[in-house]
């Protein structure tokens, strides 16, 4: 069971940091004692009244640092109110710190409005309820990154606070590498390139993301892509399809789906950013495929404890493999 923990430090007169804002300097100092917590988590604790100086609660972490004995209280993580659920998960790798799993299409990662059961988080709580990360203040199974409900493939999950913090840092500084494969309409030109735009919430359709015109209205999104194969139908070669590999430099919501649509090559089966009318020559092959043809194939990162470089890769999922087989049966000889 987690317990309340206390961490202290003494700031003496004459120290060069005196006079600087507490929320700017204290997180770095306390991280030596609590390396599993991020700067932002430490700043939040300070603003929530968990920091004292000489026994007095600091009302705002934006105040200037002064001499005295500082004590930071790390409260026990709140219990999650989600219902544990037994679910068969495709575990690719697991040790005391991380879980690497192959998520199937159709499985939602995290509970949201209107869905509190049947998610990956519910399954992780069931299997790892005693070791969940409390790094965010609530016991949760270290969801470091997400995949859309109908995107399949590799995810890494942190089993403890240290892993969560270090993996999150790799996502933040883009040292963690994610490689996707997708099927798109058309033929991206050139066959290899970089798409760099600003992505933000669509101004009128709030469930969608969109390429924005200015930095003020969106966040920088960078996708490296390479065409792996072009598929041309023997009945109509003017409407090719392509197999494309995408490497994410950033991780914006729906990034690959938005970027591929932006260059005129939307993903097959994408209900939000895809084509409204499928070319007649491919309709039979695509019948019954009702999700975006996107799969997180490879994942590379530095292991949070051993600091070794690790790489994981999985094959095409069954539904995309079957779709490719149908598409190739109609290709030019």
Report, in this order, helix, strand and coil percent for the chain, each rounded to 5.
20, 30, 50
- Answer yes or no: are the C-beta atoms of 245 and 226 closer than 8 Å: yes
Residue of 97, 148, 270, 319 marked catalytic: 148
Structure tokens given for 243: 């197999």
- Listed in order, strand segments (DSSP E) in 51-124 are 51-53, 56-57, 68-74, 91-94, 98-103
- Answer yes or no: are the C-beta atoms of 134 and 161 closer than 8 Å: yes
- Checking 123-130 for CB contacts under 8 A at 24+ apart, the result is 123/85, 123/86, 123/87, 123/89, 124/99, 124/157, 125/80, 125/82, 125/83, 125/84, 125/85, 126/84, 126/85, 126/86, 126/87, 127/89, 128/99, 128/159, 129/84
Whether 148 is a known active-site residue: answer yes
- Answer yes or no: are the C-beta atoms of 144 and 167 closer than 8 Å: yes
Residue positions annotated with a catalytic role: 148
């Amino acid at each position: 069971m987690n317990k309340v923990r206390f961490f202290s430090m003494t700031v003496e007169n004459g120290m060069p940091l005196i006079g600087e804002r507490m929320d700017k300097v204290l997180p770095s100092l306390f991280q030596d004692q609590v390396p599993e917590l991020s700067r932002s988590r430490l700043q939040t604790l300070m603003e929530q009244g968990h920091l004292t100086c000489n026994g007095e609660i600091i009302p705002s972490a934006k105040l200037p640092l002064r001499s005295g004995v500082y004590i930071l209280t790390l409260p026990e993580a709140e219990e999650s109110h989600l219902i544990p659920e037994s679910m068969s998960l495709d575990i690719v790798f697991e040790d005391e710190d991380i879980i690497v799993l192959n998520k199937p299409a159709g499985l939602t990662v995290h509970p949201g409005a209107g869905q509190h059961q049947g998610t990956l988080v519910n399954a992780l709580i069931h299997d790892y309820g005693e070791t969940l990360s409390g790094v965010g203040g609530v016991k949760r199974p270290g969801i470091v990154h997400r995949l859309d409900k109908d995107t399949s493939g590799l995810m890494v999950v942190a089993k403890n606070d240290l892993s969560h913090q270090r993996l999150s840092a790799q996502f933040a500084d883009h040292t963690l590498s994610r490689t996707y494969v997708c099927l798109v309409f058309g033929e991206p030109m050139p066959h290899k390139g970089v798409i760099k735009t600003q992505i933000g919430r669509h101004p009128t359709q709030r469930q969608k993301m969109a390429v924005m015109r200015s930095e003020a209205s969106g966040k920088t999104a960078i996708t490296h892509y390479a065409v792996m194969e072009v598929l041309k139908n023997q009945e109509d070669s003017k409407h090719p399809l392509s197999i494309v590999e995408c490497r994410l430099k950033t991780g914006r919501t729906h990034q690959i789906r938005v970027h591929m649509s932006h260059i005129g090559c939307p993903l097959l089966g994408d209900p939000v950013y895809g084509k409204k009318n499928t070319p007649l020559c491919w309709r039979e092959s695509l019948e019954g495929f009702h999700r975006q043809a996107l799969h997180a194939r490879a994942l590379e990162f530095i292991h949070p404890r051993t600091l070794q470089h690790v790489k994981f890769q999985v094959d095409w999922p069954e539904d995309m493999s079957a779709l490719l087989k149908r598409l190739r049966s109609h290709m030019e000889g």
